[in-house]
């Protein structure tokens, strides 16, 4: 199929893009990497009257990884960020592991971080990482200026975010996390969206877990912190028995839905297994 007719705009500055979006916001789509939008256009699932391409907007393709955290421009490609975090000692391990799970190398060469996050697919890996580590989204509009939205508030449902129609997501940031992190997932085939994925973080002091954070993808309409499950090991000495208790709490705390890829029972059971495996990687405690 071919997309429905639309007007195409190719702004060369952020201000120009914001002015276009302010005029066309209620019936315009932003084009970043296009890995999700272009198929939706071709299948006419999306039928915007205007398309605003962000590829020539300067400054959106830069990232900064430092001791105080990570700042990622919306147009940074997944493959570029993957290379950057691989050579950085301060980048969280879970971010590197999640980036490797995004499609195939060809996909990662086109996918943008901002486009991935703004698309808000509940099976996507990066939203879970940003929720787990307390990430922040920076949004800009022509009339209201800039605002920051915590990741937990940004993702609001299936393909739904807190971004207003006249706003552009310009940057995503992650604060420094003092502990260890891991991301694991299960998918039908390499490169597929995850059936279930888990981002787990913990500060370990002689196997005592503190500042525990757990977020899932593929188990609901958005990535969520599992605070009741986190409480199972917060302040506890990790052991095989404690990890099994945690897995049970995770399975009880998610609310997945069945689809053509997997049943809700399967996802619920696997959610506990994914969190347990992630914590095994972090702690070295076998279950």
- What is the chain's length? 287
Mean pLDDT of 37-66: 94
Helix (H) or strand (E) holding 213: strand 208-217
* Residue 8, strand partner residues: 51
Separate counts of helices (H) and strands (E) for the chain: 11, 14
Same fold flag, 63-175 and 180-283: no
241 DSSP assignment = H
Kindly report the backbone phi and psi dihedral angles of residue 209, in degrees, each rounded to the nearest multiple of 5, phi listed first: -90, 130
Instruction: Of 26-30, 71-75, 149-153, give the lowest mean pLDDT range.
Output: 26-30
- Give the C-alpha separation, 165 to 210, whole Å: 39
Q: Give the helix/strand (H/E) hosting 82.
A: helix 78-86
**How confident is the model at residue 248, as a pLDDT?**
97
Residue 262 DSSP symbol = -
Q: Where are the domains of the chain?
A: 7-53, 63-175, 180-283
Architecture (CATH level 2) of domain 7-53: 2-Layer Sandwich (3.30)
Q: What is the mean pLDDT of residues 179-205?
A: 94
Please state the three-class secondary structure of 86-97 as a single string. Answer: HCCCCCCHHHHH
180-283 in CATH: which number?
3.30.390.50
DSSP secondary structure of 36-67: THHHHHHTTS---SEEEE-TT-TTTT-EEEET
Q: What is the value of pTM for the model shown?
A: 0.96
* Mean local confidence (pLDDT), 57-84: 96
Report the pLDDT value the prediction gives residue 60, as an integer from 0 to 100: 97
Q: What is the pLDDT of residues 214-238, one digit of tens each?
A: 999 999 999 999 999 999 999 999 9
Average pLDDT, rounded, for the chain: 95
pLDDT for residue 285: 86
- Token digits of residue 87: 């050579």
Picking from 171, 270, 174, 239, the residue whose alpha carbon sits closest to that of residue 213 is 174
Distance of alpha carbon 140 from alpha carbon 115, whole angstroms: 15
Q: Is 190 exposed, middle or buried (0-12, 13-18, 19+ CB in 10 A)?
A: exposed
Q: Which fold has domain 63-175?
A: 3.30.465
- Nearest CA to 32 out of 132, 195, 172 is that of 172
Is residue 286's pLDDT more than 90?
no
Report the relative pairing of strands 7-9 and 50-53 from DSSP bridges: parallel
DSSP 8-class letter at 271: H
pLDDT band at 211 (very low <50, low <70, confident <90, very high): very high
| pLDDT tier for residue 195 given thresholds of 50, 70 and 90 | very high
Is pLDDT of 156 > 90?
yes
Sheet with 180-186: list strands edge to edge.
180-186, 196-205, 208-217, 224-225
Judged against a pLDDT cut of 90, whether residue 1 lies above it is answered with no
Whether the Cβ atoms of residue 158 and residue 120 lie closer than 8 Å to each other: yes
Judged against a pLDDT cut of 90, whether residue 106 lies above it is answered with yes
| pLDDT of amino acid 36 | 92
Give pLDDT tens digits for 22-36: 999 789 999 999 999
Residue 3 has pLDDT above 80, yes or no: yes
pLDDT at 281: 95
- For range 119-123, the mean pLDDT: 95
């Amino acid at each position: 199929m071919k997309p429905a007719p639309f007007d195409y705009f190719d702004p060369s500055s952020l201000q120009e893009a914001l002015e276009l979006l302010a005029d066309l916001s209620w019936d315009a789509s932003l084009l970043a990497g296009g890995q999700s939008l272009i198929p939706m256009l071709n299948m006419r699932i999306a039928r915007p009257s205007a398309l605003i391409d962000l590829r020539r907007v300067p400054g959106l393709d830069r990232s900064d990884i430092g001791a105080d955290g990570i700042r990622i421009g919306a147009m940074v490609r997944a493959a570029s960020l993957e290379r950057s975090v691989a050579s950085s000692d301060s980048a969280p391990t879970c971010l590197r592991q999640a980036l490797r799970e995004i499609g195939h190398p060809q996909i990662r060469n086109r996918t943008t971080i901002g486009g991935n996050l703004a698309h808000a697919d509940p099976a996507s890996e990066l939203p879970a990482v940003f929720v787990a580590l307390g990430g922040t989204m920076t949004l800009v509009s022509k009339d209201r200026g800039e605002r920051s939205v915590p990741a937990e508030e940004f993702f609001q449902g299936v393909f739904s975010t807190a971004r207003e129609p006249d706003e552009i997501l310009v940057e995503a940031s992650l604060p420094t996390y003092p502990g260890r992190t891991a991301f694991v997932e299960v998918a039908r085939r390499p490169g597929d969206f995850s059936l279930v994925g888990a981002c787990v973080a913990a500060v370990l002091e002689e196997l005592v877990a503190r500042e525990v954070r757990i977020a899932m993808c593929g188990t609901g309409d958005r990535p969520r912190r599992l605070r009741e499950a986190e409480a199972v090991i917060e302040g506890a000495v990790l052991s095989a028995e404690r990890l099994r208790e945690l897995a049970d709490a995770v399975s009880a705390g998610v609310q997945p839905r069945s689809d053509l890829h997997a049943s809700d029972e399967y996802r619920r059971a696997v959610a506990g297994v994914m969190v347990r495996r992630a914590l095994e990687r972090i702690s070295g405690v076998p279950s």
